[in-house]
Structure 1
Amino acid sequence: MSFTGPSVGSGSRTFRRAFEFGRTHVVRPKGRHQTTIVWLHGLGDNGASWSQLLETLPLPNIKWICPTAPSQPVSLFGGFPSTAWFDISDLSENAQNDIEGLDASAAHVASLLSTEPTDIKLAVGGFSMGAATSLYSATCFALGKYGNGDPYPINLSVAVGLSGWLPCAKDLSSKIEGDNEAARRAASSPVLLCHGRGDDVVPFKFGEKSSQVLSSSGFRDVTFNAYNGLGHYTIPVELDDICSWLTSKLVLEGHS
């Protein structure tokens, strides 16, 4: 599925990047379908690897949708192409945010969720760059719009980010402040962040600070789990914590 990025106007000229998303893998619920979660992989990965892992989780009431990011030039890799939800130059607090790429991926997530039944709770989660995209989607939901101002169409119930960070963190608080609807949505949006203290790819402080920024911006239900010795990967105890949190926040049946 291709998605042309939101237009960025400069006078009468408009620039667009074309985003060609890869294959989507779906894990069907083994029990009564209560929730659909779009789960986003990390930089250079694909939807297949996470779909295989998510299928093993004792969450029979969740349908998982695992898309594959577009292959695009990545500045961090000197312009070499990789599967990436957006472009990234470096992991630092002063790094430029690729709003067009973030918007395109958040819109792809929304599109995947848009055809789900109306009685199903909708959510987003991810790992590393996928976590960043899921947290960006959560802020788009709270603000009611994408970074380019287009309306955000999906009602997200929860968001999960593993080993990731929050894009556009600097101005989030000022955007939500003074917008009563945005503040209300933020306050009622549970977010789970998990991060390893031994992460040598996305430093632990990025996850910790992302949690603090979300909380100070009006997200009142933010859980931050830290794991000693954990690097840039996931472990069974972290997956157990995710299962318990999702079961609690989404009021799921049949967690075994």
Structure 2
Amino acid sequence: MCGNNMSAPLPAIVPAARKATAAVIFLHGLGDTGHGWAEAFAGIRIPHVKYICPHAFDIYGLSPDADEDESGIKRASENIKALIDQEVKNGIPSHRILLGGFSQGGALSLYTALTTQQKLAGVVALSCWLPLRKSFPQASANSANKDMHVLQCHGDADPLVPFVFGSETAEKMKSLINPANITFKSYRGLPHSACPEEMVDIKKFIEKQLPPISD
């Protein structure tokens, strides 16, 4: 069981090559750990960006067609907000922090960005959907992130989270934040996973949203 966060393992971290002036917090999918994604981000490193890939964000019932575990989603979201606060304490302002995730992690990153008072640099949402969507737009009415940029990516051959869930989520997001700031990219033949072309698009997005700043 990973419900007790006191014993949750420390996140997998890809440190910045020089002083970190920005961070990406990226959440894995169900049954995975942060290690695989830390490895993927190590392959697209940006010198001033620190990558944080937490483990143990499995929420059973957070899937596109399940009865959603609302209290579990909210609890996990609070944990992510605490992680963001920790990075702010470390000296990286929240508007230099980008949130992201794959599948269940992507759903959680969208939910957190839409409900937090922390102003974020944006969201990278891969192969996912918007959870608790019936509670929006009320839940996002006071969000600090109405103008955030979102990169949503989805394979058109995804057997687990159907492509239509991704495209419908992008449409729903356009009613919640500035629609001009939403980019939805599809990848031909890609199942429920990532691909090199997608990682290149993610890197470009991170570089644009988290440009280097002079010390």
**TM-score bucket (shorter structure):** 0.7 to 0.9
Residues 1:193 and 2:152 aligned together: yes
Partner residue in 1 for 2:107: 132
Partner residue in 1 for 2:174: 215
Instruction: Please report how far the alpha carbon of residue 27 of structure 1 lies from its aligned counterpart in structure 2 after TM superposition.
Output: 0.9
CA deviation string 1:192-236 (max 9, x = no partner) = 110000111111011111111010123431111111111111111
The number of equivalent residue pairs is 206
Residues 1:40 and 2:23 aligned together: no
Letter in 1 for 2:153: C
Residues 1:102 and 2:87 aligned together: no
Letter in 2 for 1:194: C
- Contact residue 135 and residue 159 of structure 1 kept, 8 A: yes
Instruction: Name the CA distance, whole Å, in 1 between partners of 2:62 and 2:205.
Output: 33
CA deviation string 1:175-201 (max 9, x = no partner) = 44xx4x54xx34311111100001111
Letter in 2 for 1:155: K
- Structure 1 residues 215, 46: closer, same or farther in 2, change over 3 A? same
Letter in 2 for 1:31: R
Whose strand fraction is larger, Structure 1's or Structure 2's?
Answer: 1
Instruction: Please report how far the alpha carbon of residue 106 of structure 1 lies from its aligned counterpart in structure 2 after TM superposition.
Output: 1.3
Letter in 1 for 2:163: F
Q: Superposition RMSD on alpha carbons, in Å? A: 2.1
User: Which of the residues 195, 203, 226 maps onto 2:186?
Assistant: 226
- Contact residue 164 and residue 206 of structure 1 kept, 8 A: yes
- Structure 1 residues 115, 238: closer, same or farther in 2, change over 3 A? same
CA deviation string 1:8-53 (max 9, x = no partner) = xxxxxxxxx7555334111100134221111111100011111112
- Contact residue 246 and residue 252 of structure 1 kept, 8 A: no
Partner residue in 1 for 2:126: 162
Instruction: Please report how far the alpha carbon of residue 118 of structure 1 lies from its aligned counterpart in structure 2 after TM superposition.
Output: 3.9
Give unpaired runs (5+ residues) of structure 1.
3-16, 71-83, 145-153
Instruction: Name the CA distance, whole Å, in 1 between partners of 2:52 and 2:107.
Output: 17
Instruction: Name the CA distance, whole Å, in 1 between partners of 2:21 and 2:63.
Output: 38
Residues 1:115 and 2:90 aligned together: no
Instruction: Name the CA distance, whole Å, in 1 between partners of 2:110 and 2:62.
Output: 19
Q: Secondary structure at the match of 1:230?
A: coil
Whose helix fraction is larger, Structure 1's or Structure 2's?
Answer: 2
Partner residue in 1 for 2:61: 88
Runs of 4+ in 1 over 4 A off after TM superposition: 17-20
Alignment identity in percent? 30
- Contact residue 36 and residue 113 of structure 1 kept, 8 A: no
- Contact residue 122 and residue 149 of structure 2 kept, 8 A: yes
Give unpaired runs (5+ residues) of structure 2.
none
Q: Secondary structure at the match of 2:194?
A: coil
